[in-house]
Structure 1
Amino acid sequence: SSTSISAGLGMAVAHHLRAEEDPSYRERNVIAVIGDGSISAGMAYEAMNNAAVAGPGAERLIVILNDNEMSIAPPVGAMSNYLSRLMSSRKFMGLRELAGKFVKKLPAPVERTARKADEYARGMITGGTLFEELGFYYVGPVDGHDLPQLVSILRNLRDTDNGPIMLHVITEKGHGYQPAEKAGDKYHAVAKFNVVTGEQKKGPAGPPSYTSVFSRELTRRAATDNRIAAITAAMPSGTGLDAFAKAYPDRFFDVGIAEQHAVTFAAGMATEGLRPFCAIYSTFLQRAYDQVMHDVVLQKLPVRFAIDRAGLVGADGATHAGSFDIAYLGCLPGMTIMAPSDELELLHMTATAALFDEGPIALRYPRGSGLGLDLPAEGTPLEIGKGRIIREMGGQSGPEKGGVAILSLGPRLAECLKAADMLAAHGLPPTVADARFAKPFDTELVENLARNHAVLITIEEGSEGGFGSLVGHHLARTGLLDNVRFRPLTLPDRFIDHNTQAAQYAEAGLSAPHIVGTALSALG
């Protein structure tokens, strides 16, 4: 999001430099396409600001602004309002339509000249002032579904020397397919659907999603705590905050595709005594890492990070996988990180975050549905940094200690229990524990598991350098690493392609058979 102009500018300048070195190299135009939701993000302006002074090559950059007033959620903010004003300039659009009918009656050379004159108008009446001030030659708005006109404009822009160019194109999401035209947000990503009716196939009713459990508890807490505010970066439905927005519109803020601003905006709220929840997908929070560190953690501000889509995400693939948040947050001093093993734990952890005022706290939870557990009306706050024993079957203290301990962080606990049953069938019933907290983790629990078992396995839905690394460092510092066979199971050091979540975790080696294999291998 918002990266295409920077990449396109780099390509355009590179083409020019290569052409200067090699006369046989043909310099080319570069077209960067960006949506009206994405252009509100800061990186787009950094690129446009640089394009005006990037030197030769930049004039061959053409940016197509695809303006359909719809990303996943409707665009918000001043930029959206500005584009709407350009779109609604019917006076100019009417002149264009009239001129178009007139020039079609003229000889071809005159028609081409007239079309160029139309482009030279470039917002004199619509007022593409912002883009002009940034050094772009603005053309538009034009009908993106009138392909003959669009092709003609692009040909003319290709041959002009007035770049860099901003071509403002008006489109309709799902144009030509009525079900998508009526509900563009529902067709951003689709399951199997009936092409004639547009009806999407729905799976059988099941347990509530983790997202909805978080949303329910946060909205309930806000009823009795007017300091709670909710912030999202253009994902109100994806993060479940649309329900919060309906209940408390004055305390809900959709900042658009601007995660960096969302985090520092939340930090500002926290300085004044509010309890902001910044709900962002794990993979998108990476965009705001500098702000998390400098504007929140360094100042020890109690910003609550609700990190949705943590772990592998199935059909959304590597771009949306929440693989790195434990590692990149776990190294920050004073950061508290929680990971629920099921939806009941998520309920309790949301309540914990709502009342936690000692500094930044992160709550990571996966995409998908819970296990179908009965949920109480409200969550109960947890003790910070304390895990729990789920099964205590194997292991003994002293020099003859043996057995396996499995320490799970997050939703892999269900797979750990399956693995425990499989190991029990081998006559090796393990101890199974739920860490609950990646940081600060329960050092007493970890030390007891290490002292009383021959093998300690940690498992997490995250990359290397996360929870397992933190546990390993602690074992090394305390000398316990020499006394236990420590095996951290993490996501592998590579990206995992689109698939079902179950297949992805099997490929990653984080399923019950892999846990069993690791335990048996460690026992020798």
Structure 2
Amino acid sequence: MPKTNRQDYTLLANINSPCDLRKLPVDKLSYLAEEIRTFLVETLDVSGGHFASSLGALELTLALHYVYDTPKDHLVWDVGHQTYVHKILTGRADSLVTIKKTGGLSGFPKRSESPYDAFGVGHSSTSISAALGMNQADKLSGSSAKTVAVIGDGALTGGMAFEALNHAGGMHSDVLVVLNDNEMSISENVGALTSHLTKLLSGSMYNSFRETGKKILKKVPGAFEIAKRLETQAKGMFVPANLFEALDFYYVGPINGHDITGLIEALKTLKDHDGPKILHILTKKGKGYQKAEDDPIKFHHVSPKFNSEHTIKKTANPTYSNIFGRWICDMAAKDKKLVGITPAMREGSDLIAFSKRFADRYYDVAIAEQHAVTFAAGLACEGYKPVVAIYSTFLQRAYDQVIHDVSIQNLDVLYAVDRAGLVGADGATHAGSFDLSFMRCIPNTVIMTPSDENECYHMLSFGYQHKGPALVRYPRGSGTGAEITEHLSIEMGKANMVRKGKKYAILNFGTLLPIALQAAEKLNATVVDMRFVKPLDKVLLTKIVQEYAFIITLEENAIAGGAGSGVNEYLLNQDLLTQVKVRNIGLPNYYQEHGDKELLLSEVGISVQGIIDTALKMSEKPVKEKI
């Protein structure tokens, strides 16, 4: 049986909070680390969850909670994939098996879940900005609390992180930024020299000498600046200190991020160092679990039984991401002007095959959504056809660029928007709840919502061939098993009548079509696959008002401003709302918790029974009556 009970472990059994951790002698922490590593493997083998990143940050997490007085001191994580050990140490070990489940722990830091979660997070590159805000709040209130931001080398590629570094250095804030670098950018021999130098640079004797030297040299005209330049240049021979020190950060590193004793020594020294500072550590994703070390991408997130069962079960149907991956390869083979762009989501967006087959036309721009869109705009200006593969929740980050750089200039850019709608276990930070709402109001934009894999494939082609900005949105997960046909008739702004019925017309936007059809069978209702959110099929809408008394719109997007709102606006402007009753079914005006997707949808009426109940209420029949 998996050892998912904390009491099965000698040291972990007594860790209920970081206060208990700090009672341990330093030489016991490596043993605790091994217990936590085993506990994490055994627990996630039952529950599933983010794995490789948490293993990689294990020793760092122990050292941070050991040195800093959390939760008084603020520990701000970037993205949050790596915080499972943080949750274990802060009183949530016994609940870890519930992570990402309905009613269980969040997969990310969440302020409402624990006082130790200083800042809620799901997107990257936010930690330094948030930490700086907390630091200044403490300064204004006279608090002595310390603030630490933990950011990965990948998240540091986000422009927001550099904006925060620039601000923090400029105001001489007392923030520590821990750069968790899990890419081996320094070779072994140079790394050994660096490790030796870093021990010197982070030691108390060196720092004492350094600070005393400052005071003396500042009295000698020109000497201090010369000494400072020489120190930076000497460190720059071995480590990337110049960039950070140019921003007025005191740089230490890189050091071994799996050496708990070394980490604790460095953190203790930096804790009382005045001004902004950076501790650069080198870690290995998946540390201690060989398969995860060998393939950290595969083990970034694991499913239950990943450790105890060695067979990988594949879903019968391809995912919508797989459909996109197939389409972009097919289209790239036909058109040499196609360029694929992703903001660090190659695997998630299924651009793996494209990146290998068409390497010269594949661009991973790192975690930089804003840059991705404007980069696409530049390509479009010169006659290329960029395809931006991006998650719905990340498209939000590039909103200004979508408007200012693409739409106003009416440039030829296709957005392949993945993870549209709810994403279940990942919760509100990753849900694609708003893309229809925030994209629908932008001029010069065609928006399509495929109902199955075949429509998705051909809508991508339609959007690609359209001259101007176009968007195709599709959900996470597998499709219905629809076969990809050679041709599919799609006309701009034209809906598809799927089922003919009486009294009720269900206007479906997207992959909820199967539940619309099931409800329609019981209601004897008409079902229309609207296909386009913008432009709407206004001719069909006018006809439906003439033939049906009740209209229900169905979408996996926020009701506020969504596709249904577009229908309402058209009917209102045509003075047709007095002739028909309209109800919109979609996502509510609040953030839903993480959990089972089908249950979450059902809770807000996005289900067969939810559609039926809405229809019966519209026709003034008792809601409890079932058909």
TM range (shorter): 0.7 to 0.9
Q: CA deviation at 1:502?
A: 1.3
- Kept in 2, the 8 Å contact 1:350–1:379? The answer is no
Number of the residue aligned with 1:480:
576
Work out which of the residue numbers 533, 536, 554 in structure 2 matches 1:459: 554
> Is 1:510 paired with 2:510?
no
Q: CA deviation at 1:212?
A: 0.8
Q: 1:204 to 1:84 in 2, by over 3 A?
A: closer
How many Å separate the matches in 2 of 1:205 and 1:330?
33
Number of the residue aligned with 1:372:
481
Number of the residue aligned with 2:300:
188
Q: How does 1:95-244 map to 2 (within 5 A)?
A: 95-96=196-197, 112-113=204-205, 123-127=235-239, 128-161=241-274, 163-195=275-307, 199=310, 202-203=312-313, 205-244=315-354
Q: CA deviation at 1:202?
A: 4.0
- SS of 2:462's partner is helix
Q: 1:382 to 1:486 in 2, by over 3 A?
A: same
Number of the residue aligned with 2:517:
417
Q: How does 1:51-450 map to 2 (within 5 A)?
A: 51-55=168-172, 58=173, 60-69=174-183, 84-85=185-186, 89-90=190-191, 92-93=193-194, 95-96=196-197, 112-113=204-205, 123-127=235-239, 128-161=241-274, 163-195=275-307, 199=310, 202-203=312-313, 205-357=315-467, 359-376=468-485, 378-380=486-488, 382-394=490-502, 403-423=503-523, 429-450=524-545
Number of the residue aligned with 1:11:
134
Give the unaligned 5+ runs of structure 1. 20-25, 70-82, 104-110, 395-402, 424-428
Q: CA deviation at 1:500?
A: 2.1
Q: 1:515 to 1:385 in 2, by over 3 A?
A: same
Instruction: Give a deviation string over 1:307-347, Cα, whole Å, max 9, x none.
Output: 00000112121111100000000000111100100111111
- Kept in 2, the 8 Å contact 1:455–1:484? The answer is yes
Q: 1:94 to 1:152 in 2, by over 3 A?
A: closer
Taking only the aligned residue pairs, the percentage that are identical comes to 44
Q: CA deviation at 1:222?
A: 1.1
- Kept in 2, the 8 Å contact 1:351–1:380? The answer is no
Instruction: Give a deviation string over 1:227-247, Cα, whole Å, max 9, x none.
Output: 111000001111111111111
- SS of 2:170's partner is coil
- Kept in 2, the 8 Å contact 1:96–1:118? The answer is no
Number of the residue aligned with 1:35:
152
- SS of 2:252's partner is strand
How many Å separate the matches in 2 of 1:182 and 1:91?
23
How many Å separate the matches in 1 of 2:566 and 2:459?
21
How many Å separate the matches in 1 of 2:186 and 2:294?
23
Q: 1:328 to 1:14 in 2, by over 3 A?
A: same
- SS of 2:298's partner is helix
How many Å separate the matches in 1 of 2:415 and 2:519?
32
**Alignment size in residue pairs:** 475
- Kept in 1, the 8 Å contact 2:194–2:253? The answer is no
- Kept in 1, the 8 Å contact 2:464–2:470? The answer is no
Number of the residue aligned with 2:592:
496
How many Å separate the matches in 2 of 1:149 and 1:130?
24
- Kept in 1, the 8 Å contact 2:571–2:577? The answer is yes
How many Å separate the matches in 2 of 1:41 and 1:87?
28
How many Å separate the matches in 2 of 1:93 and 1:365?
47
Q: 1:387 to 1:62 in 2, by over 3 A?
A: same
How many Å separate the matches in 1 of 2:541 and 2:592?
30
The residue identity in structure 2 corresponding to 1:366 is: P
How many Å separate the matches in 2 of 1:350 and 1:94?
51
- SS of 1:262's partner is helix
How many Å separate the matches in 1 of 2:344 and 2:206?
41
What's the RMSD between the two structures over aligned residues?
2.2
- Kept in 2, the 8 Å contact 1:116–1:156? The answer is no
- Kept in 1, the 8 Å contact 2:285–2:292? The answer is yes
How many Å separate the matches in 2 of 1:451 and 1:2?
52
The residue identity in structure 1 corresponding to 2:272 is: D
- Kept in 2, the 8 Å contact 1:457–1:487? The answer is yes
Q: CA deviation at 1:43?
A: 0.4
Q: CA deviation at 1:67?
A: 0.3
How many Å separate the matches in 2 of 1:504 and 1:203?
25
How many Å separate the matches in 1 of 2:150 and 2:571?
51
How many Å separate the matches in 2 of 1:204 and 1:179?
19
Q: 1:434 to 1:196 in 2, by over 3 A?
A: closer
How many Å separate the matches in 2 of 1:204 and 1:35?
31
- Kept in 2, the 8 Å contact 1:349–1:381? The answer is no
